[in-house]
Amino acid sequence: MVRSPLTPQQRAAGARLGAHLRAARGARKAADVARAASISPETLRKIETGRLATPAFTTVAALAAVLDIRLDELARACRSELAEPVLQRIEEPA
């Protein structure tokens, strides 16, 4: 199965996710955080720099747990200005 190229919005969301995770990591060593999340340091570097814009949910969940970040906080960090109105409409009661 061929994967479609990421849109600019998806790449930007990945960059925002990575920046948020990097800020949450603070002074902790990338290798220590990666080990605690059971991922490679290279994978963490790729996520933090936006080179891996769409990491697996389990990877994001593991990083959130290690960094003590709520998943909804990460979701808000990823939202683009274009996606927010759609997300708000879906979240409103029917």
pLDDT digits (tens, 9 = 90+) for 47-88: 999 999 999 999 999 999 999 999 999 998 888 654 444 445
Mean pLDDT across the chain: 87
Domains of the chain: residue spans and CATH: 8-91 (1.10.260.40)
Per residue in 13-42, pLDDT (tens digit) is 999 999 999 999 999 999 999 999 999 999
Per residue in 6-19, pLDDT (tens digit) is 899 899 999 999 99
Cα separation, 41 vs 88, in Å, equals 35
- CB of 67 within 8 A of CB of 23? no
Kindly report the pTM of this predicted structure.
Answer: 0.80
Amino acid 2: pLDDT: 83
